[in-house]
Amino acid sequence: MIGLLFVFIILVVVLALEQRRQQQVVEDQRAAILRAGDPRGIVTTAIGKGIEAALPGIRVDPESGVISLPEDVLFALGSAELTPQGRGALALASQGLTGVLPCFVASELAHSRNCPDNRGGHQIETIFIEGHTDSRPLRRNGYDNINLSLDRARAVQAALVVGSALDAYRNKAGQPLFSYSAYADTRPLRGTDPSAGRNRRVDLRIVLTYRPIGEVLGELMALEEQVVR
């Protein structure tokens, strides 16, 4: 009888220790997530820093993963042709992106050894170049705001990406990293009058490749163990 009681006590102690161990694992994972921060915000902020010298008027929104380019620098009112100043700024921005993006792009990560801003190993699925306009209609037959926003997005894509190193960047699926889209006046900035000039803009929208949370946590905790050692 005493032997059975002793075995029971040992089992209770073992179960209690295992429960405590599991709780510690959960706490460690939660702490790792908090230390890592929001992946999209981290990537968006890093990209914003890479191009702000070329385009000082950019607006970076880490929460939504959007970087808004200063359209007054890029285009004249109602035009989809880049200004000389805008073309030069985009050429410099392209160089800035070439210095930042390799740490977040599948096709370039193998050659990127120093990536302190991407300890979690996050990868970009695509960067949408989005054209937007205000709500004031264009007075041109057969050419409206959707045409204008599309042509502006394509113009930025051509100046920023085509013919540069960015043109060869590929995501995890082997697809081109950059694409473009047009929204006309359907997506005004929050809290603005749809006719306001701020809504005439070109956005870079960063979309990350999906990764299971367990995979991300495993990599983060492995990295932290290496640092401790």
Q: How many CB atoms lie within 10 A of CB 156?
A: 28
Q: What is the mean pLDDT of residues 9-17?
A: 68
What pLDDT was estimated at residue 142? 86
Which is nearest to 178 in space by CA: 197, 200, 201, 153?
153
pLDDT reading at 35 higher than 50:
no
Q: At residue 32, does pLDDT exceed 60?
A: no
Q: Rounded to an integer, what distance in angstroms lies between the CA atom of residue 38 and that of residue 151? A: 33
- Please compute the mean of the pLDDT values over residues 1-11 and round it to a whole number: 65
How many C-beta neighbours within 10 Å does residue 103 have? 21
Model pLDDT, residue 95: 95
- The pLDDT tens digits of the residues spanning 38-88 come to 788 989 999 999 999 888 889 999 999 999 998 788 998 889 999 999 999
What's the pLDDT at 140?
84
Q: How far apart are CA 129 and CA 226, in angstroms?
A: 38
140-164: per-residue pLDDT in tens?
A: 888 999 999 999 999 999 999 999 9
Q: Quick one: tokens of 166? A: 């960015």
CA distances from 112 to 98, 104, 109, 224 (A): 12, 9, 5, 20
